[in-house]
C-alpha cells in the first residue's frame, strides 16, 4: 500500500516542480471542477470529484493536469443467509466477500487517478496513473497531428498501459496477483468539408494481454461453482465516423457511428445523435441520444452444461452477452459573462447534465453531473 | 463474422476517404461557424473519455484503450 502511495504521489510532485519552475512564463490558465453522481438499478452508487488544470506557457507549449477521486459503494446482498438465493448472489458477486456475514454488508472502495500531458507544437506526450486497493494502473501515451492539403488534420496516437492487480481476500476466489498490459494505436482524420460541415473518421486497434476476468466472480458450470475464466489475450478494433453540421438558427447537429469487433467474437454498433443549441448568448443546451447493440462473445452461455465451459472459458459477465442499450441525456451550460460589469467573472462557466441509461437486461442507471470551469 | 469484416473494410475505406483532398477548400475567413464551441469535436472527445469509465463497466466493447482504472467493484 505504501509503495502504491509513493508511486502515485511521485508524478504529482514532478508536475508541481515543473509547474513552479515555469510559472513566470504562463500565458493563459484554465481550471475546472466536475462532480459526478451515478446510481443504478442494482443500488450501486458512485460519487466522483475531478478537476483539470491547464496552462499555456508559450503559443507552442501547454501542460494539462487532470485528477479524479471516486468512491464506489456496493450494497449488501438482500437475501436470507443460507438460502439458495443468497448463495447464488454470493457466487455471482463481482466484489470480494471474505467471512460469513461480509456479503450482507455494504462494500465500498476509493479510486484516485492523475493524468498529466505536455504538448509541444503538434506533439503531445502523457502519463496516467490510477490507484485503488486492488488495482494499480499506469499508462504512457504519445500523439502527433499534422495538417495536409490545408483542410485535413491527420492525428496518430499510441499508448502503452501496464496494470497490476492484487485481489483482496475472497472466500471463493482463487486468482492470485496478476498483470495486464494494453497496447493501443489510433489514426484519426478530421476535415472541414464546407464552411458549416466538419467530418471525422478514425480507426483504433487495441491489444490487451493478461488478466481480463473478474477475480471475485464465480460461475455455475455443469452444476458446480467454478471461478470465472476469460482468455488472456484480446485484440480489439473499431472504426468510427462523425459528421458535425452547423444549422443557421445558432445550433449544430452531430451524428456518430462506431463499429467494433474483437477476437472474442463480440461485434457492436453504436449511434449517437446530438443537438447543440444556444438558448441565449451565455446559455447553451445539448440533447443527446445514444443507441448501442452488441452480439455475444463466442464463449458466453446463459448456462454452461459442459464441465470445461466453452474451450476452457466460462463467464458470468452479462457484458459479454447479446444486448442493446439506450442513453438519453441533456446538458445545460451557462457562461456568466460580465455580471455587474465584473470582468474577473468573465471566464466562469457552469454546467449541469443528466443522463439516463437502460438496457435489455433490465438494467438502468442515472448520472448527474455538475461542473464549474474558469479561464484566467 | 464475414459481414463484420465487410463492414469493417467499408468503414476503413470511408475513414480513409475523409483524408482525400477534395475540390473545394474552406478558407480561413470562412471558418467562423466551424470554430464555434458547439461544433467542436475535440471538446466532445475529452468528455467521452471522462464518461468512458462508467459506460465501460456496463458494456463489452466500450473503451479498452488502457488505464481508466479497471477496478473490480464497479463491474
Question: What ipTM is given for this predicted complex?
Answer: 0.74
| Full DSSP string of A35-88 | EEEEEETT--EEEEEEEEEEEEEETTEEEEEEEEEEEEEEPPP-S-TTSHHHHH
Asked whether the predicted pLDDT for residue B13 surpasses 70, the reply is no
Q: How confident is the model at residue B74 (pLDDT cuts 50, 70, 90)?
A: very low
Strand partners, B20: none
Under 8 Å between Cβ of A353 and A376: no
Residues of A in contact with B71 (CB under 8 A): 72, 109, 111, 132, 134-135
Tell me what the mean pLDDT of segment B49-70 comes to. Answer: 64
- Rounded to the nearest angstrom, the gap between the alpha carbon of residue A136 and the centroid of all alpha carbons in its chain is 16
Report the distance separating Cα A111 and Cα A133, nearest Å. 8
Phi then psi for residue A57, to 5 deg, are -90, -40
Cell of A10: 511521485
pLDDT, tens digit (0-9, with 9 covering 90-100), for A129-188: 999 988 999 999 999 999 887 788 999 999 999 999 988 877 777 778 899 999 999 999
Residue of B nearest to A363 (CA): B58
**Residue where the block lists cell 446463459:** A302
Look at B72 and A204 and tell me if their CB atoms are within 8 Å: no
Most confident option among A142-151, A319-328, B36-45 = A319-328
Look at A198 and B39 and tell me if their CB atoms are within 8 Å: yes
pLDDT at residue B66, as a whole number: 45
In 3D space, the residue among A133, A137, A136 whose CA is nearest the CA of residue A169 turns out to be: A133
Alpha helices for chain A (secondary structure H): 2-21, 84-91
pLDDT at residue A322, as a whole number: 96
Look at B73 and A72 and tell me if their CB atoms are within 8 Å: yes
Residues of B in contact with A46 (CB under 8 A): 54, 74
Residues of B in contact with A267 (CB under 8 A): 4, 61
pLDDT at residue A59, as a whole number: 83
Q: Which helix (H) or strand (E) holds A232?
A: none
Under 8 Å between Cβ of A335 and A373: no
Tell me what the mean pLDDT of segment B31-39 comes to. Answer: 87
CATH class of A2-375: mainly beta
Cell of A40: 443504478
Cell of A32: 475546472
Sign of CA dihedral A272, A250, A145, A51: negative
B30 near A CB under 8 A: yes
pLDDT at residue A336, as a whole number: 78
Look at A160 and B66 and tell me if their CB atoms are within 8 Å: yes
Amino acid at each position: 500500500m505504501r509503495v502504491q502511495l509513493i508511486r502515485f504521489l511521485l508524478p504529482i510532485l514532478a508536475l508541481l516542480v515543473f509547474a513552479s519552475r515555469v510559472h513566470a512564463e504562463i500565458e493563459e490558465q484554465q481550471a475546472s471542477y466536475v462532480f459526478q453522481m451515478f446510481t443504478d438499478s442494482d443500488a450501486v452508487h458512485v460519487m466522483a470529484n475531478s478537476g483539470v488544470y491547464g496552462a499555456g506557457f508559450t503559443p507552442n507549449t501547454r501542460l494539462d493536469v487532470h485528477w479524479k477521486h471516486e468512491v464506489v459503494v456496493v450494497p449488501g446482498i438482500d437475501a436470507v443467509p443460507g438460502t439458495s438465493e443468497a448463495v447464488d448472489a454470493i457466487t455471482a458477486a463481482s466484489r470480494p466477500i471474505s467471512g460469513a456475514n461480509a456479503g450482507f454488508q455494504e462494500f465500498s472502495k476509493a479510486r484516485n487517478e492523475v493524468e498529466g500531458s505536455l504538448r509541444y507544437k503538434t506533439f503531445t506526450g502523457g502519463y496516467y496513473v490510477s490507484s485503488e486497493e486492488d488495482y494499480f494502473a499506469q499508462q504512457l501515451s504519445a500523439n502527433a497531428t499534422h495538417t495536409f492539403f490545408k483542410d485535413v488534420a491527420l492525428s496518430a496516437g499510441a499508448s502503452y498501459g501496464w496494470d497490476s492487480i492484487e485481489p483482496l481476500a475472497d472466500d471463493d476466489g482463487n486468482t492470485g496477483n496478476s498483470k495486464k498490459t494494453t497496447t493501443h494505436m489510433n489514426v484519426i482524420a478530421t476535415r472541414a468539408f464546407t464552411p458549416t460541415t466538419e467530418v471525422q473518421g478514425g480507426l483504433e486497434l487495441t491489444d490487451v494481454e493478461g488478466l481480463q476476468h473478474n477475480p471475485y466472480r464465480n460461475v455455475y458450470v455443469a452444476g458446480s461453482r467454478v471461478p470465472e475464466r476469460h482468455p488472456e489475450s484480446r485484440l480489439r478494433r473499431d472504426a468510427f465516423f462523425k459528421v458535425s453540421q452547423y444549422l443557421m438558427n445558432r445550433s449544430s447537429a452531430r451524428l456518430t457511428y462506431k463499429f467494433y469487433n474483437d477476437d472474442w467474437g463480440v461485434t457492436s454498433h453504436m449511434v449517437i445523435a446530438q443537438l447543440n443549441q444556444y438558448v441565449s448568448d451565455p446559455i447553451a443546451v445539448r440533447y443527446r441520444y445514444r443507441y448501442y447493440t452488441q452480439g455475444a462473445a463466442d464463449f458466453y452461455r446463459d448456462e454452461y452444461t459442459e464441465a470445461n465451459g466453452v474451450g476452457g472459458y466460462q463467464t458470468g459477465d452479462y457484458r459479454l452477452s447479446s444486448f442493446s442499450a439506450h442513453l438519453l441525456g441533456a446538458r445545460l451550460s451557462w457562461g456568466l459573462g460580465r455580471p455587474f460589469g465584473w470582468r474577473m467573472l468573465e471566464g466562469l462557466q457552469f454546467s449541469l447534465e443528466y443522463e439516463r441509461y437502460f438496457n435489455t437486461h433490465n438494467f438502468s442507471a442515472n448520472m448527474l453531473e455538475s461542473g464549474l470551469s474558469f479561464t484566467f | 463474422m464475414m459481414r463484420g469484416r465487410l463492414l469493417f473494410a467499408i468503414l476503413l475505406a470511408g475513414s480513409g476517404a475523409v483524408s482525400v483532398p477534395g475540390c473545394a477548400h474552406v478558407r480561413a475567413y470562412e471558418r467562423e461557424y466551424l470554430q464555434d464551441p458547439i461544433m467542436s469535436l475535440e471538446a466532445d472527445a475529452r468528455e467521452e473519455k471522462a464518461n468512458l469509465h462508467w459506460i465501460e463497466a456496463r458494456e463489452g466493447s466500450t473503451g479498452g484503450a488502457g488505464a481508466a482504472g479497471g477496478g473490480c467493484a464497479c463491474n
